[in-house]
Each structure stands twice: as structure tokens, then as C-alpha cells.
Structure 1
Amino acid sequence: MNNYQARLDSIVQDFGFPENGTARPDLGYYRGKVPEAMIDFWQQNGIGIVLDGYFQFCDPGHYDGILKLVFSGDPDIHAEQTHALGFGAFGTIIAWNEIHQDVIVDLVKGHVSCPALVSGKKYDPNLAVTSQLMLLDDPTLDEYDANAKKLFKPARSKLGKLGVGQIYGFKPILALGGNRALANLSIYEALPHMAILAQAHDLQLMDNTAFPPTALRAVGS
């Protein structure tokens, strides 16, 4: 058995099988571009929604355009080497970069996290990607109202469950003066709403090891 199969099994045991997804990504195309553990996960489980919509695994090719908007012209993180693995209920993208490993794009806050780029430390790719996927229930994938109360469960109760390719979003978006309130949330198709978020502000590469997290530089050209 490979050294990551137990981790793949635990992801499904903890979060459930992906549901309602379309056909899995082209495994041959992504072999060598993402860790073998990700290929095996797709092969065994496909893509789709887990945790009642808190996260969904996606076909990376469908979200290439969003990553081009985010990383076009960036000196370190190149869009063509960055592949979306899935996204949270409010549009935070979990991705894999062929050079710099884990990349997280928080489109609502305008923050990009790439620990290996910031620290210079890389890990076994299969263990790195499975470690990231074992945190899909992390509270950082939620959004919070003005009183610091989590919004995912109230949004699901009020607006209904998300379908494949959908996210919750603020209207108007926060970058354009929207308020962090349940009343301001709607369900959006992920691709067009992500595109709006990606272009609404200058994204910043963050050092999350600092307290508070520190912006290092702008992302993109």
C-alpha cells in the first residue's frame, strides 16, 4: 500500500464521498501536474460536494480562468502551473502549484496563502496535499458576520443547500461596500461570482505564520 492511502481513506471517512459531481477530471492530463495522491483520490472517489456543501471537489480545468485572473503576471506563482482542487462554500479555492505546492486563494478577503513559497520549505507532495485535504472542515473556509458568528449553517438554513458549482456570496460584495450579514447573502454560480471577486481588489500574498498575518506583496502583475 502507498504511504498516503490511509489518509485518503480518512478524508472520505471524515467528510463523506463527494456527491453530485460530474465526470472526474482527465487523470492522464493531470498526472505529473498534481500529486499522485490526488490522482488516486479522483480515481477512487470522483468529484463533487462534501460536508453538506461546506466544500466541493472540482475539475481543475473548469476554474483555470479564475486562477489566470488571480495570478496573471505573478513572478512566482504561475497560473498555468496552478490547479484548483476544490473550493469552500464562500469561494475560497484550494489549489496545487507544480512548484510551490499548496496554494489557498481567499477571494472574499483578497488573500493568497502559499506556505512553501513564503517559508522556502517543501514537503513530500503526497503528504502535503493530503494534509491540506484533511482540513476541509477548517473554520477558515467559513465566513463570519459583523459579530464574528459563523455564516455557513445559517446561510444553508435560510437559502438552501448549494448545488455543484455554486457558492454563497455577499450582495454587494464586501470589496464594494457590502455588509457581513446573513441578510446580504445569496447563492451564486461559482465561476462568474469568483471572477467578480478576483477583479474587485488587489490580492495580497500573506505570511500566515506571523501574528497577525502579514501582507508581503501584491499578487499578479
Structure 2
Amino acid sequence: MDEHFEYFLEKMGPAFSKRHVPPTSIERFRGKLPKQLLEYWEEHGWCGYADGLFWTVDPQEYEPVLEAWIGDTPFMEKDVYHIIARSAFGELYFWGENTFESLKIFAPGSYCFSRKSMFQADQVEHGLRSFFGKRNRKENDFAALFAPALKRLGRLRHDEMYGFIPALALGGPSELSHLKRVKAVEHLVLLAQLAPLEVMTSPTLADG
């Protein structure tokens, strides 16, 4: 295990709710996603970390989410993207085949961060390891609601997330009492229909 993933596990805790990644999925994304990510999948599967705050996901399963959020945007003209991870609240991590870790969307707030990767084409594997090494609980814990949501609503399954009902885009408050356990893919697709995506930019990914 490389030092970046060891550091990731130190911060995020051991995996749970592991799903075996079939060889067909490995082959489907070979040459499209970093070899290092495919090796992580083979060893650890698609699973949850930090009690369900952060999840690695099957990009094919999340294709409807990707299409809903960026299917009709200039992002699709710039690169081919795949969703490789998400948070309990709908932070979506996209990996571009050519731009790497260049796009992150916070679905409940309908905004995204579009950044230029600090890594070059020959550094894709290091870039992927760095992606995991930079992840932490705070960036995924919207309004510090995860611990109370976990206590009140219980641990999420791999296909669930905590969603605000009514949605923030419809004026719903970002309060614990308005969080529900919802199906992740379906809820994320719904959120994409409620408000236009606001794009925020920064020069590089050096700051995470």
C-alpha cells in the first residue's frame, strides 16, 4: 500500500460496506482511469469510509448523475469525465481522462469548482495517489452535520446519501431536522434539475 493511501486511511478510517469490483468493470475503465485507481478497486472494492462520510463509487452506476450535471455543459467538450467518489451529502468528485482531478460539484448547493490540475500527463498515477492523500473529513462534512445525522438517521448504505427535504435549491433550510436518507443516484439527478450550476474557478489543484 502506498503512503498516500495509508495517510488517507489514517484520516478516514477503515473501509466498510465493501462491494467487489468485477473484472469487467476493471477492463471497462482500463486506459480511461489511472491504473492506480483500478488497483485500489481490486484491493479495496467500492466502499465507504469515515462511517459513510466518503464513498468510492462505480462510475458506470453514476453516469446518469454525470449526464444530469454536466451533460449539456462546456465541460463535456473539454474532456471525458467519470465520477469516482462522493460524500454523504452529495459532494461529487469527477476525474477527467485528460484533465485529471479538475472538477468537483457540491450538488445540494448547485455549484462546482473547476480547476487546472497541477500534474502533467506523465504524472497521472501520482496525481491519483495525491487525490486520496488530500481527502479529509472536514471538506465532506457539510455544516458539521454528519455526526448528528449519523446518530439520528443511522449509517448509510452504499446507494444512499443524506438529502435535504425540501432541497436547498427550493429554499429548504440546511438543518438536521430536514435531512433524510435518500437514494443517492436518484436524488442527485433530481437536484441537477432544480437550479443552474454555478462555476467557480481557481488556478490549480495544489490547494486540494
In structure 2, what is the equivalent of residue 182 of structure 1? 176
1:93 counterpart residue number: 92
Aligned residue number for residue 20 of structure 1? 17
Which region of structure 1 is more displaced relative to structure 2, 93-102 or 75-84? 75-84
Map Cα deviations across residues 131-188 of structure 1 (whole Å, 9 max, x no partner): 22223324221211xxxxx111111111111111110011100000101111111111
The Cα offsets for residues 97-129 of structure 1, whole Å up to 9 and x where unpaired, read as 11221121110111122311xxx7544212222
- C-alpha deviation, 1:91, in angstroms: 1.0
Alignment correspondent of 2:158: 164
Match of 1:147 in 2: none
CA distance in 1 between partners of 2:35 and 2:139 (Å): 26
Separation in structure 1 between the aligned mates of residue 14 and residue 26 of structure 2, nearest angstrom: 18
Find the aligned partners of 1:208 and 1:180 in 2 and give their Cα distance: 26
Amino acid at match of 1:19: F
Q: TM-score, normalised by structure 1?
A: 0.82
**SS of aligned partner of 2:68:** helix
1:27-176 map, 5 Å = 27-78=26-77, 81-102=80-101, 103-116=103-116, 121-123=118-120, 124-144=123-143, 150-176=144-170
Are the structure 2 counterparts of residues 152 and 42 from structure 1 closer, same or farther at C-alpha, using a change threshold of 3 Å?
Answer: same
Q: How many residue pairs get matched?
A: 199
CA offsets per residue over residues 31-89 of structure 1, 9 Å max, x none?
A: 11111111111111111111101111111100011101111132233598211111101
Using the alignment, how far apart are the partners of 1:7 and 1:38 within structure 2? Answer: 12
Q: CA RMSD in A?
A: 2.2
Say whether residues 1:8 and 2:8 are aligned partners: no
Q: For the Cα contact (< 8 Å) 2:92–2:105, is it kept in 1?
A: yes
Q: What TM-score does the superposition give when structure 2 sets the normalisation length?
A: 0.86
Q: Could you say what secondary structure the match of 2:157 adopts?
A: coil
TM-superposed deviation, 1:17: 4.0
Say which structure, 1 or 2, has more relative contact order (CA 8 Å, 6+ apart): 2
* Uncovered stretches (5+) of structure 2, i.e. residues with no partner: 204-208
